[in-house]
Amino acid sequence: MWVLMYVFSYSVSPIATSDRAEWRLLPTVVFQEFTSEDRCRSAKTKLEDSLREAGTRLKSALDELQLVGKAGPREIIVAYNVECLPK
């Protein structure tokens, strides 16, 4: 048995929102079981590809906001980690 562990977190700068609190890390952790290492690794690859693509789209949208003076990539931190682990 193998477990896919997926950790995704993001934080938004207080200057990018109406909430003037500190930067807050908002993590999500997901575990999914697989019967084989191959199936786990396949899911890992697909998830990483999807996250990379989403990051590219997010950066593009933030660059557009920065052009109109609303916010930019510096106001948001996005991080993720995807691992296959034996159970």
pLDDT tens for each residue of 40-49: 999 999 999 9
Strands (E), 13-75: 26-34
Q: What is the pLDDT of residue 53?
A: 87
For residues 36 and 2, the answer to whether their CB atoms sit within 8 Å is yes
pLDDT digits (tens, 9 = 90+) for 69-87: 766 667 777 788 999 999 9
Strand partners of residue 31:
5
- Say whether pTM exceeds 0.85: no
pLDDT digits (tens, 9 = 90+) for 9-52: 877 777 666 666 666 777 889 999 999 999 999 999 999 999 88
